[in-house]
């Protein structure tokens, strides 16, 4: 290797050395000046001239429906608070405030003492939140009498429609210990604890402002330095349509169950209902532990979002899958006729069709329209359910739809291997029968079933189900739009699709169709009913209590020739799908069609 | 054989200095991040980072520095690529896009860019047959090497790192032997551009509106801290109060009121010097400056005694870079330089900064240990 000498570098190194020594000397004298010469002055500043920042909570982002109507908002309320440092005689102040707020002096002392460990000086202690206006007026007019008492404006979270769509919105509450550690969030702030409030908390939360006051050595206020305004949270514009949501809520009424409505051309969720509901307005005020225990132990599980977190046997709605599997695999010839005598035997056991007298000789179209069980027992057994299961998976069952909500369940698509592993039993022909009509081990969520009809409507395009359409920063006007996402396409043979679509139209229009209750004069509805048995064997003659009644399903889309909405309705223990679920879907579809194309976003 | 000789040639004085500064840093981060519930998890993280940094330093000792010089351009290309990646997918921290997330770790490529620019320039000048006496026109390639990362860093936007890159490149070019006339020319051009910027209102306006609001605020606050005592001037004012109120002997470990009561922002990162000055007083802060000066002068001596030109340039370049870090950071805490985000080497909290500093110092030790060695 050549040994080049660093002569040129050597010549310049004194410059670097000079630079280091020069700068170090400058700093040395600067520190000497600050710390030794002016040290006492800065010491005094540090001791006596402190700035105390007091937090101001920012208003959370508002959630609007797709047309800009607020669904989750903030209301301005007023709290009566005490700043102990501003009260020369705290006992006197408390004594005078006591009759106004109807609180015993001892109780007020306790509130102030409890706040002490986490409070910074001059931070107000809330005595009465959301005070009625008479009390506020009393405090305001008697200001001189009540030194240290202030009225604090506060933006409080408000859900104007109560339980409507509550499971999607979620609720807010005090920051938990783990959240505090993870994101060093403020203790005083209310943050999202479930649903969209939690999922988009960082956006919705905003940035706290500060009121800066200068205090002296004794901690007394010297002067107000001003206010750094809080930055409000980012607003969310949802895909939900307030009118369609309301129609779905009202359609389901007091019954437990779920409704999901989606635009099959984009995956946008138009309505999502889960009943029973809770009132999210209970939470921002700090839910009482009694109410919390009641809610979380309620056997009807009001905190569950049934649309995505609960799975049910699909009942006869699954015949759409069995039908597509048969047509696509070539095992079903649409012209072939099967004879339904009202039952089909396997070994010694007879499996009944829902129609006792039987459907007689029946082909594909009528079998799907009239929901003939014997036809689908036969076809399911001919294919073997493992093959049907493959198509079910292709159509999205057994996996998550990916909607941006918490704890989505993926349900179950059974196979022979799955059953063997689960309880060691082999797969019987009877399993082919029962699972092919959706009564066995198949489990689906309402949103998966909505996705199924959406696929039939749009020809097999999987859109990412979407609930937030765009976000908007209130201060800068900056927007982020989330366009529809095509996740994948499952190419379904158009001929097979046509046969299924025609049969689904027949369900609501033809004689013998099971869902005339879903038909509307506004457009042709295509769909399928389902009645999922809760217990396999019913005891004849015994009156059924509600919890052993069947679950009622209806899934469908409209208008049949140009679908704009896909709906899944599930009524827990609702009885027959055609009677209990189809009319709910009709209400939702009618509400949608009434306004389709006429409403515009604000 | 090689290892033993390396060990015996290791400059133990310099190693002791490094250990002293690093220990002071660990103690300061402990104090600055202490919470009422006890030591913060940031402190534990800092311990892990320092440990990893020492490992990196030892690793940087093992290969001959010529081998590292051979990879200088590769390292440079990697760090430029990482900066491009940040521009595309980086995580936003504090209103600027600077971080790259690798699993749970956030990594700041602009820190690595500084060191890799030093190494790449050292190699370029060492191999350049002209060998010194550069005029302005000879510097097209090094200028290009500076401008690429500079633009990427300014895009983030990170003014502090951009300035660091420019200053470091300037210093190493001075070392490599730029003609003094050229230096004068650069300064003249700078003065003309600067006066154009400040004195011609339309130009000033055009540049001013290009700056991010937080940059505008910081510049305003530097010119007149009283203009905005709550916002950007707050940092500077509070730091100065912290430093000054430390007086001669300091308020004692974990007794700094400015630091412990959270008046001082960024106290464990960019303003850690203010914590040391407040709690250890003038004695402590000037001792730290003495330690740094000793370390930096050893760096200069390393360059002087290096066997060859690339060693001299690498050592000189690294020393220049570290000097800038130290002086800009302390100058900022002492209120004689504007607030720009530059960490204090070996002391400030922050993984990427610690790792690159230890890497740079490992290279210095490497060059110093091999000054007596023959080439095989």
Q: Using a cut of 0.80, tell me whether the model's pTM lies above it.
A: no
Q: Say how far apart CA A538 and CA A545 lie, in whole Å.
A: 11
**Chain B touched by A40 (CB under 8 Å):** yes
Task: Please report the sign of the dihedral spanned by the C-alpha atoms of residue B187, residue B191, residue B196, residue B201.
Answer: positive
Q: Which CATH number describes the domain made up of A53-238?
A: 3.90.1310.10
What burial class does residue A350 get, using C-beta atoms within 10 Å of its C-beta: 0-12 exposed, 13-18 middle, 19+ buried? Answer: exposed
B158 vs B363, higher pLDDT = B363
* Residue A590 predicted with pLDDT over 90: yes
Measured CA to CA, the distance from residue B205 to residue A152 in angstroms comes to: 42
Most confident of A292-301, B3-12, B15-24: B15-24
Chain B, window 288-307: residues with a beta carbon less than 8 angstroms from a chain A beta carbon? 289, 292-293, 296-297, 300, 303-304, 306-307
Q: What is the 3-state secondary structure (H, E, C) of B271-287?
A: CHHHHHHHHHHHHHHHH
* pLDDT for A220: 62
Report the alpha-carbon distance of residue A59 to residue A492 in Å, rounded. Answer: 49
Q: What is the ipTM of this complex?
A: 0.88
What is residue B162's predicted lDDT score, i.e. its pLDDT?
86
Cα gap B87→A535, rounded to integer Å: 59
Lowest mean pLDDT among A197-201, B65-69, B252-256: B252-256
Q: Which two tokens stand for residue B175?
A: 């070392």
Rounded to whole angstroms, how far apart are CA atoms A35 and B282? 6
Question: Long-range contacts: B47-55, Cβ < 8 Å, 24+?
Answer: B49/B350, B49/B351, B49/B354, B49/B355, B50/B22, B50/B25, B50/B26, B50/B354, B52/B351, B52/B354, B52/B355, B53/B354, B53/B355, B53/B357, B53/B358, B53/B359, B54/B358
pLDDT (0 to 100) of residue A541: 43
- In the predicted structure, residue A546 carries a pLDDT above the cut 80: no
Residue B178 is classified by DSSP as B
Q: Give residue-wise pLDDT tens across range A287-327.
A: 777 888 888 888 888 888 999 999 999 999 999 999 999 99
Model confidence at A528, pLDDT cuts 50, 70, 90, reads very high
CB atoms within 10 A of CB B92: 10
Q: In chain A, which residues have their Cβ closer than 8 Å to the Cβ of B231?
A: 228
Q: Is the Cβ pair B277, A31 closer than 8 Å?
A: yes
B323/A4 CB distance under 8 A: no
DSSP B75-94: HHHHHHHHHHHHHHHPEEET
> In 3-state terms, what secondary structure has residue A227?
strand
Q: Indicate the average pLDDT of chain A.
A: 86
Segment (H or E) for A54: strand A50-56
Positive or negative CA dihedral for A292, A297, A300, A304? positive
Chain position carrying tokens 């329209």: A369
- When computed from its CA atoms, the radius of gyration of chain B, rounded to whole angstroms, is 21
At residue A602 the predicted structure's pLDDT band, cuts being 50, 70 and 90, is very low
Closest CA–CA distance from residue A39 to any residue of chain B (Å): 5
Domain that holds residue B89: 2-369
Sign of CA dihedral B137, B143, B148, B152: negative
Kindly report the nearest CA distance between residue B49 and chain A, in angstroms.
20
Domain with CATH 3.40.710.10 in chain A: 242-595
pLDDT band of residue B153 (cuts 50, 70, 90) is: confident
pLDDT in tens, A97-126: 988 888 899 988 888 887 776 666 677 888
Interface test with A, best of B175, B178, B265 (most A CBs within 10 A): B175
Tell whether A22 lies on the interface with B, counting CB pairs under 8 A: no
Task: Using pLDDT thresholds of 50, 70 and 90, give the confidence band for residue A2.
Answer: very low
Average confidence score pLDDT of chain B = 82
In CATH, the architecture of A242-595 is 3-Layer(aba) Sandwich (3.40)
Domain count for chain B: 1
Task: Count residue pairs from A and B with Cβ separation < 8 A.
Answer: 155
Segment A340-348 shows an average pLDDT of 85
pLDDT surpassing 90 at residue A29: yes
The predicted pLDDT at position B301 comes to: 92
- For residue A433, the distance in angstroms to the closest alpha carbon of chain B comes to 48
Interchain proximity B243–A8, CB inside 8 Å: no
Cβ–Cβ < 8 Å for A237, A284: no
Q: What are the pLDDT digits (tens) for B327-341?
A: 999 998 998 888 777
Tokens standing for A194?
């479930």
Residue A484: which of A203, A239, A204 has the closest Cα? A239
Is B69 domain-assigned?
yes
pLDDT value at A519 more than 90 = no
Bridge partners for A70 per DSSP: A64
Look at residue A71 in the predicted model and tell me its pLDDT.
Answer: 95
């Amino acid at each position: 290797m050549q040994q080049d000498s660093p002569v040129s570098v050597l010549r310049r190194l004194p410059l670097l050395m000079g630079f280091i020594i020069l700068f170090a000397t400058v700093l040395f004298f600067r520190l000497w000046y600050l710390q030794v010469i002016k040290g006492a002055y800065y010491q005094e500043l540090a001791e006596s001239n402190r700035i105390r920042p007091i937090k101001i909570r920012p208003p959370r982002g508002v959630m609007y429906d797709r047309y800009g109507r607020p669904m989750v908002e903030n209301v301005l309320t007023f709290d009566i608070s005490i700043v102990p440092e501003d009260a020369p005689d705290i006992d006197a102040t408390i004594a005078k405030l006591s009759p106004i707020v109807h609180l015993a002096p001892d109780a007020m002392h306790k509130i102030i003492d409890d706040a002490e460990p986490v409070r910074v000086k001059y931070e107000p202690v809330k005595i009465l939140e959301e005070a009625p206006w008479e009390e506020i007026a009393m405090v305001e007019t008697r200001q001189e009498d009540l030194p240290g008492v202030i009225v604090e404006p506060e933006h409080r979270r408000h859900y104007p429609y109560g339980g409507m769509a509550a499971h999607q919105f979620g609720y807010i509450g005090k920051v938990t210990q783990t959240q505090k550690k993870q994101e060093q969030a403020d203790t005083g702030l209310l943050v999202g604890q479930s649903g969209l409030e939690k999922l988009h908390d960082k956006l919705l939360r905003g940035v706290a402002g500060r009121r800066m006051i200068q205090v002296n050595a004794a901690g007394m206020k010297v002067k107000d330095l001003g206010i750094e305004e809080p930055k409000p949270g980012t607003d969310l514009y949802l895909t939900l349509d307030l009118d369609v949501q309301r129609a779905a809520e009202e359609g389901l009424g007091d019954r437990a169950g779920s409704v999901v409505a989606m635009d099959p051309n984009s995956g946008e969720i138009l309505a999502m209902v889960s009943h029973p509901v809770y009132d999210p307005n209970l939470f921002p005020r700090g839910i009482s532990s009694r109410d919390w225990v009641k809610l979380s132990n309620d056997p009807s599980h009001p905190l569950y979002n049934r649309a995505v977190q609960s799975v049910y046997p699909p009942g006869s709605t699954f015949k759409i899958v069995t039908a597509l599997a048969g047509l696509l695999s070539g095992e079903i010839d649409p012209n072939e006729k099967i004879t339904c005598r009202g039952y089909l035997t396997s070994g010694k056991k007879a499996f009944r069709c829902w129609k006792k007298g039987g459907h007689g000789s029946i082909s594909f179209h009528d079998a799907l329209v009239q929901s003939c069980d014997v036809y689908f027992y036969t076809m399911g057994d001919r294919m073997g359910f493992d093959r049907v299961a493959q198509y079910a998976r292709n159509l999205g069952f057994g996996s998550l739809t990916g909607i941006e909500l918490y704890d989505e369940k993926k349900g179950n698509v059974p196979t022979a291997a799955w059953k063997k592993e689960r309880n060691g039993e082999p797969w019987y022909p009877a399993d082919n029968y029962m699972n092919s009509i959706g009564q066995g081990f198949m489990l689906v969520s309402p949103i998966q079933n909505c996705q199924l009809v959406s696929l039939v409507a749009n020809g097999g395009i999987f859109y990412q189900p979407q609930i937030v359409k765009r976000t908007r920063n209130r201060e800068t006007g900056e927007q982020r739009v989330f366009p529809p996402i095509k996740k994948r396409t499952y190419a379904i043979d158009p001929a097979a699709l046509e046969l299924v679509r025609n049969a689904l139209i027949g369900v609501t229009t033809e004689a013998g169709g099971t869902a005339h209750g879903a038909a509307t004069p506004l457009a042709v509805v295509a769909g399928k009913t389902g009645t999922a048995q809760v217990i396999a064997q019913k005891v004849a003659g015994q009156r059924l209590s509600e919890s052993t009644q069947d679950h009622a399903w209806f899934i469908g889309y409209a208008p049949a020739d140009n679908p704009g909405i896909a709906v899944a309705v599930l009524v827990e223990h609702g009885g027959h799908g055609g009677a209990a679920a189809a009319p709910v879907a009709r209400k939702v579809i009618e509400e949608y069609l009434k306004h389709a194309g006429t409403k515009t976003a604000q | 054989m090689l290892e033993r000789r390396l060990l015996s040639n290791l400059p133990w004085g310099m190693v002791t200095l490094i250990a002293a500064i690093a220990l002071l840093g660990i103690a300061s981060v402990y104090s600055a991040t202490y919470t009422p519930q006890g030591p913060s998890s940031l402190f534990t993280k800092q311990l892990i980072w320092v440990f990893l940094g020492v490992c990196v330093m030892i690793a940087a000792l093992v290969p001959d520095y010529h081998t590292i010089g051979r990879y200088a351009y590769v390292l440079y290309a990697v760090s430029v690529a990482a900066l491009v990646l940040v521009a595309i997918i980086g995580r936003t921290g504090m209103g600027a896009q600077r971080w790259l997330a690798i699993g749970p770790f956030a990594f700041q490529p602009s820190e690595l860019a500084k060191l890799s620019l030093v190494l790449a320039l050292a190699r370029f000048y060492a191999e350049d047959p002209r060998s010194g006496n550069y005029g302005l026109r000879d510097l097209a390639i090094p200028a290009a090497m500076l401008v690429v990362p500079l633009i990427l860093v300014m895009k983030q936007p990170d003014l502090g790192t951009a300035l660091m890159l420019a200053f470091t490149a300037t210093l190493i070019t001075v070392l490599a032997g730029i003609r003094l006339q050229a230096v004068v020319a650069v300064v003249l051009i700078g003065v003309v551009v600067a006066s154009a910027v400040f004195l011609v209102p339309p130009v000033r306006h055009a540049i001013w509106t290009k700056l991010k609001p937080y940059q505008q605020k910081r510049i305003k606050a530097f010119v007149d801290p009283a203009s905005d005592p709550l916002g950007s001037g707050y940092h500077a004012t509070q730091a100065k109060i912290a430093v000054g109120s430390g007086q001669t002997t300091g308020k004692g470990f974990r007794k700094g009121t400015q630091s412990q009561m959270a008046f001082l922002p960024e106290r464990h990162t960019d303003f850690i010097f203010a914590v040391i000055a407040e709690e250890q007083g003038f004695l402590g802060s000037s001792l730290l400056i003495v330690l740094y000066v000793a370390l930096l002068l050893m760096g200069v001596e390393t360059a002087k005694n290096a066997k060859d030109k690339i060693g001299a340039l690498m050592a000189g370049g690294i020393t220049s870079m570290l000097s800038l870090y130290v002086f800009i950071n302390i100058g900022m805490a002492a209120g004689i330089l504007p607030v720009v985000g530059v960490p204090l080497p070996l002391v400030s909290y922050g993984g990427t900064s610690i790792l690159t500093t230890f890497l740079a110092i490992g290279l210095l030790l490497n060059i110093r240990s091999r000054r007596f060695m023959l080439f095989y």
